[in-house]
Structure 1
C-alpha cells in the first residue's frame, strides 16, 4: 500500500484568498478611504505583520533587561565593555542557587556503617529519647527532608557525619563517661578520608558533627578535664552542633559551632499537657526536681553544680512555697505543667534540659548559670520568657521571684504561650517549619561561605 500525497495548488490557493478579500471589500461600504486601507492591507499585510511582531519582541527584550537585578548592579559601576563583570557573574550564580526555603542549600548525609550510629539505638531505646539524643533526632530529621538533603555529594554544600557518641554516655553506675567518643569519631573520619574525597579537599571545614553533651566538642563531662583535653585536632575545622555554649571565651567552643537545645521527646510534652489541670491552675509556686547533694561530693576538685543546688536545698528545702525533690520521677513533667516558676540551675555544665521542658510547658524558667549562651537567641527571645538569677544571688531567690510575681509575671506567661517558642525548642520527625532542626538549618545557611561547591562556582 502506498500513500499518494498531493501538494495543494499554490496558484489556486492564492486566487481563492484574493477572492475572499475582494468579496469583503465589495461588501464594505465605508467610503474610498476605507477601501484604500483594505487595498493597502491586502497587498502589504505580510510586511505589516512582520513589522509589529519585530517591534513587540524588541521592546519586550529591553523591558525585561531593565528589570534584571544584574543590570542594576552593572549600572552602578563603571566597567570596561571589553571585560565581563564579576558582579554580573556572581549575581546570576546566587540567583540560580538561592531557590527553596534555605536558598538552595544542600546537605549530604553520609551512610556510615551501623557501628557508628544505628547499632547504639538498637542496643538501648534510651539512646533516642534521653536529653543527649539531639544527635539521633537531627540525623533522622535530615534523612526525612527531601528539600535540603541531597543524594548526590557533588552538589552538597555541607556533609553531615552521623556518629552517635552520646548513646553510651552513662556507665552502669550512672556516672557520665565519654572515653569512647574521640576514638569513635576518629574512626569515622578515617573511614570518610579513605572512601570519599570530600573530607580531604577541605580538611572537614564543610562537615557537620553533633556534640550534644556537657562540654560539647571537648567530649568530657568534667570541665577541667574537658579543657585539658581540648577539641580533637581533626575536628577543629568542622562545624559542631552542641548544647554547650557560654558568652565568654572558653576552649570548648573555640570551633565553628551552633548552640542547639537538648532533646525533649515531643510526645512526652504532649502527655504532660494532656494531664494538666483542666482549669489551668498552677498550684506549685517554685519547682525543682533533680540531683541535689546535701553535702556536695568533691570530684576532680570541683563540687557538683558549683554548690548552687546544695545552696538552694539548704536555704529553701521544706519551705512552703518551694517544691524541691531530690528523687527521680518518670512523670515529673506533669509537675512542671502545674508550676509557676521552674528552677534551672547548672549541673556539671551550664545548660540543662529543664530550660526546654519549662519553656514548652508554660513554666517560667529561672536560669541560674552564669554566662550561659541559650540556643536560638534570634528566634527564642529568652529575656521575654525567662528569668536570669546570678549564682551568687540564690540566697535572695525568694525575694526575686516574689518581686516578679507582683510586677511582670503575667506578661512573661503570656509570652510563653506563643506557639513559635515551643516549636523552636523541639525536634520533630519529620522536620517541621520553625522547629529545632529547622532553626539549625537557618544557622547553617549563614555559614554557606564554608561551602566548597559554592566557592568553586563563584570563582569560575
Structure 2
C-alpha cells in the first residue's frame, strides 16, 4: 500500500508523466478511428464508383435472394437477377461490354494448357490397371432368386437404355466378370447389389419407400454376415445413377459416411457425397455402333439444349438465346440432337439442381469439346483422366463472358482439345461384354483405388 501511494505521488510531481498519460488515450482513440475508417472505405460501395454501362431490361423491382428450391425458373422473369442474387453478385453490368466482372477476378485467363496428357500419369495407370485386372476381387451378397424383391437385386436380362443405364449396365457386366469371387475371405470389396432405378419402378416400394428398403437391407446383411461389422461398411459399395440415391441413405448414415458410393449425383453440395471416398459415375445414354466421324465441319461456336430447371441454366439461356455464335435452346429441340452436336465446336454441360446429366457423354460421343459449367462438381473418372486436356471448365459467374472465353481459345488449342476428346470417348462407353478401358473397366479401376490395403481378419468363434 505504501509503495502504491509513493508511485502515485511521484507521478503527480512529474510533469512529463502527466503529458504521457494525457496523450496515451488520445493516441489510442485516433488509431482506432483510423482503422475503422480504412475498413469502411475498403468495404463500402459508397466510396466506389463503377464505370460501366448500365442497361435496364425491366422496371420491376429486383427480387430478393432465394434458395435454389424456391426460385421460379423462367427465362422471362429476370433470370439473370435470380442467378446473380444466388451468387451474391450484382447483375446490372453491361452485356455489350461482355460483363467485365470476369476480368476483375482473372476468370477469362488461360483455360487451355495444351501440354497436358489425357491421363494424370499414364505409366502408373497402365501398370496399376494390369495389377487390378489380375488381382481385384469383389464379393456380392447372395440373394435368393425366389425372393419377392429379387428384381431389385438381380441384374437385368436386357440391354439397358435411357439416362440411368449406367447403374444397370455396371451390375449386369460385373455379375458375369472375372472380378467376382464366391470366397469372401479373398474379397477386396463387398457389393450391395440393390438398384435405385428398379426400386422407383416397383409399386411396392416407390420413391417414398426407398429409404426404408435400403435401411432394412443393410441391417439384414449386418446381422446375417460378419463382413459389414468388422469395418463399419468401409469396404462396401453400391452403384446408383438416379438422383434419388442422394437421399436414399438418409436412414442409414453408416452408408453415407463409411461406404463407397459410386453415383452420378456427385456434387459437393449434395448431402452424403464425400469426395475421394465416393466416386463419380458418368451418366451415359447408350448408343449402338461406333461414334460418327469427327471430320464434320463445325460451324457453330457452342451449343446447349435442355430444360430450364436451375438458375444457372436460366441465366445461360436468358443471356445467350439470341446470339448467333452460341446456340442456347430450351425445351424440345425440333432438329436431330446429334446433328447439332456434330456441327458445334463446343457443347455445354450446364448444372441442374442434381448436376447429373448425359450432356458430357453426349458431347464426347459426337466429338464435341465439352464446356462444363457446374461449380463444385466431382467429374467422372477425375482420379484417372485429366479433364483439362479435353474439356473447358468455366465458372458459373463467367456465363456472361462465355463467348469471350471460347473465342480466346486458338485454333491449335481447340484442335488439341478435340483430338483428346476422340481419345477419351472410349472410356465413356458401355460394352457388353466389356472392352479394355471402357466405362466398366474404368469404374472398376476407381473402385480398386478405394480398396483398403489392410484387410481386417474375421474373428472366428
Taking the TM superposition and a 5 Å limit, the aligned residue runs for 1:26-105 are: 101-102=132-133, 104-105=135-136
Tell me which residue corresponds to 1:156. 187
CA shift, 1:171, in A, is: 12
Larger Rg: 1
Cα distance in structure 2, aligned partners of 1:119 and 1:444: 22
Task: Give the C-alpha shift of residue 358 in structure 1.
Answer: 0.9
Aligned pairs for 1:323-362 (under 5 A) are 323-328=327-332, 332-362=337-367
Structure 1 residues 105 and 201: CA distance shift in structure 2, 3 A: same
Correspondence for 1:144 among 172, 176, 180 = 176
For 2:284, the equivalent position in structure 1 comes to: 263
In 1, Cα distance between the equivalents of 2:414 and 2:238? 39
Distance 1:432 1:184 in 2: 34
SS at match of 1:417: helix
After superposition, the C-alpha distances for 1:143-186 in whole angstroms (9 at most, x for unaligned) are: 1212x1112333322111111113455999xxxx9433212212
Pick one of 401, 415, 418 that aligns with 1:413: 418
| Counterpart position of 2:151 | 118
Is the contact made by 2:233 and 2:254 (CA closer than 8 Å) also made in structure 1? no
Q: Is the CA contact 1:266–1:428 (under 8 Å) kept in the aligned structure 2?
A: no
C-alpha contact (below 8 Å) 2:230/2:456 kept by paired residues:
no
Root-mean-square deviation over aligned CA pairs: 3.5
What is the deviation of 1:136? 1.2
Which structure carries more relative contact order (alpha carbon 8 Å, separation 6+)? 2
1:238 and 2:259 matched: yes
1:365 aligns with 2:370: yes
**Out of 202, 208, 212, which is 1:183 matched to?**
212
CA distance in 1, matches of 2:142, 2:190: 11
How far the C-alpha of 1:321 sits from its partner, in A, is: 2.3
Query: What corresponds to 1:252 in structure 2?
Result: 272
Residue 241 to residue 117, structure 1, CA distance change in 2 (3 Å): farther
Pair 1:442-2:458 in alignment: no
TM-score by length of 1: 0.61
Corresponding residue of 1:69 = none
1:100: Cα distance to partner?
5.3
2:363 and 2:220 map into 1 onto residues whose CA distance is 41
What is the correspondence of 1:203-214 to structure 2 with a 5 Å cutoff? 203-214=232-243
Aligned residues: 324
State the distance in 1 between where 2:409 and 2:259 align: 42
Cα distance in 1 between the residues matched to 2:313 and 2:252: 29
- Following superposition, the deviation at residue 130 of structure 1 comes to 2.5
Partner of residue 312, structure 1: 316
**Quick one: distance in 2 between partners of 1:351 and 1:243?**
6
Q: Return the TM-score normalized by structure 2.
A: 0.61
SS in 2 for 1:449: coil
